Amino acid sequence: MCHPLVLGSVEPLPILQYTPDRHDETDGHIYVDSLDKAASYDSQVIFSTRFLYYISTRHTGDACGFSGDYDEAESARRELAAFLERSLEICADLQLFVAFTDYGDSGVVPSRFDYVGPSDIRTWMTGFTPGDFFQVIREVV
């Protein structure tokens, strides 16, 4: 798989509906799985949060599926934005790293820092480039 998306949170997030074994194949466009921080050197260096999650799209099995101008990608982005919005109600800010293929013990560090809100993902203003590190923030409406 190529460029995974890793999400960090100081609180545990409700991911049950997104886990691969509980997933309803007829709907749902993203998978969210917990990641063992202790097992990954990169995770320990990059994230200050205790809980980590690996996010991928159902149709590609990785985060590439969020990019592109087609229905599946758009649905995946919408679902990711909704998941982040719900997660932000539990945890005021989240960390999101667009990882490289060899994420784990690669020694990689983020190359760009930015803020992102759920609506930025919906409108796809940002895009995801490996090396991007985002602080995911609640948007004022």
Applying CB under 5 A, which residues contact Zn ion? Answer: 2, 60, 62, 64
Q: In this complex, which beta carbon is closest to Zn ion, that of residue 1 or of residue 90?
A: 1
CB of 115 to Zn ion, least distance (A): 25
**Hunting for tokens 């919408």 — which residue is that?**
78
Q: In this complex, which beta carbon is closest to Zn ion, that of residue 44 or of residue 101?
A: 101
Q: In this complex, which beta carbon is closest to Zn ion, that of residue 85 or of residue 106?
A: 106
Enter the tokens of residue 72.
Answer: 């599946």
Which are the contacts of 113, defined by CB distance < 8 A and separation ≥ 6?
133, 134, 135
CB of 139 to Zn ion, least distance (A): 28
CB of 63 to Zn ion, least distance (A): 7
CB of 112 to Zn ion, least distance (A): 20
Of all residues in the shown chain, the one whose CB is closest to Zn ion is 64
Sheet order of strands, 51-57 included: 30-35, 51-57, 5-9, 93-98, 132-137, 112-116
- Are the beta carbons of 86 and 43 closer than 8 angstroms? no
Q: In this complex, which beta carbon is closest to Zn ion, that of residue 2 or of residue 109?
A: 2
95 in helix, strand or coil?
Answer: strand
